[in-house]
Amino acid sequence: MKKSTIITSSILAVVIGAAGVSAAVITSTPPAPLANTQAQQALTEADEVQAVEEGTVVAPASTTEDLLLYLIEEEKLAHDVYTVLGETWGGNTFSNILGSETSHQDQVLNLLNSYGLTDPRSSEIGVFVNPDLQSLYDQLIAQGMTSQAEAYKVGVLIEETDITDLTTAINSTSDATIVATLEKLRSASESHLAAFSKKL
């Protein structure tokens, strides 16, 4: 696979529970699950670069609270990437999907509020508390700015990754409210994926 067309990150997947559950994106054979903690990074910097090139992704989220905090910034990432690429290349695809990404953030925010969690999002485009999401954002923007075709490929990558991540999260929680919300987000991501795929 070429790095220019398959740029993702060592995140954009959800790892839940003490042992952790990792999702792999755009690979035929998913990597083994990795455990993640604040004190111990599962990947070294060199490993992260290799993971990006191979199209594998791992996201830290060991508790329900961690999951929700991660997901809302993940939705912000999609929103911010589509904002920048839409302004750069124009067209209706990015602008049409942009509104949905705002709605997705609102839905996850409702879950954060129900758990009494503080919204971690920055009001600035392209600024993230999670350092892995920050790194991913920078990589996706770099790819998407090279051409309109690459911008649409970034959209495909984001939506394919979201679908995989959300499926993993749905299968890893018994909270009915969270499951219902994530199923709605997954359905929307499937529609977005179809829209971006038609542009390629």
| Within a domain: 136 | yes
Q: Is 70 exceeded by the pLDDT of residue 144?
A: yes
d(CA 100, CA 123): 18
Question: pLDDT tens digits for 67-96?
Answer: 899 999 999 999 999 999 999 999 899 999
Q: What is the pLDDT of residue 107?
A: 97
Segment 178-186 shows an average pLDDT of: 97
d(CA 155, CA 161): 10
| Range of the structural domain that residue 182 is part of | 63-197
Q: What is the pLDDT of residue 61?
A: 55
What share of the chain in percent tops pLDDT 90? 60
Which has more pLDDT, 127 or 64?
127
Question: pLDDT tens digits for 4-61?
Answer: 333 433 333 333 333 333 333 333 344 443 334 333 333 333 343 344 434 434 444 5
Q: Is 80 exceeded by the pLDDT of residue 154?
A: yes
Q: Is 80 exceeded by the pLDDT of residue 186?
A: yes
d(CA 163, CA 173): 16
Q: What is the pLDDT of residue 172?
A: 85
| Within a domain: 42 | no
Number of domains in the chain: 1
What's the CATH code of the domain at 126? Answer: 1.20.1260.10
Segment 142-159 shows an average pLDDT of: 98
| Within a domain: 74 | yes
Distances, alpha carbon 100 to alpha carbons 10, 132, 188, in Å = 25, 23, 8
Cα-based torsion angle of the residue sequence 189, 9, 35, 167 in order, rounded to the nearest 10 degrees: 10
* Mean pLDDT taken over the chain: 77
Segment 131-152 shows an average pLDDT of: 97
Q: How many CB atoms lie within 10 A of CB 21?
A: 19
Q: Give the residue carrying structure tokens 């790095």.
A: 3
| Within a domain: 27 | no
Q: What is the pLDDT of residue 17?
A: 36
d(CA 55, CA 62): 22
| Within a domain: 139 | yes
| Within a domain: 145 | yes
| Within a domain: 16 | no
Which has more pLDDT, 162 or 28?
162
Q: What is the DSSP letter of 110?
A: H
| Within a domain: 55 | no
Segment 122-127 shows an average pLDDT of: 98
Amino acid at 10: S
Q: What is the pLDDT of residue 169?
A: 84
Global pTM?
0.71
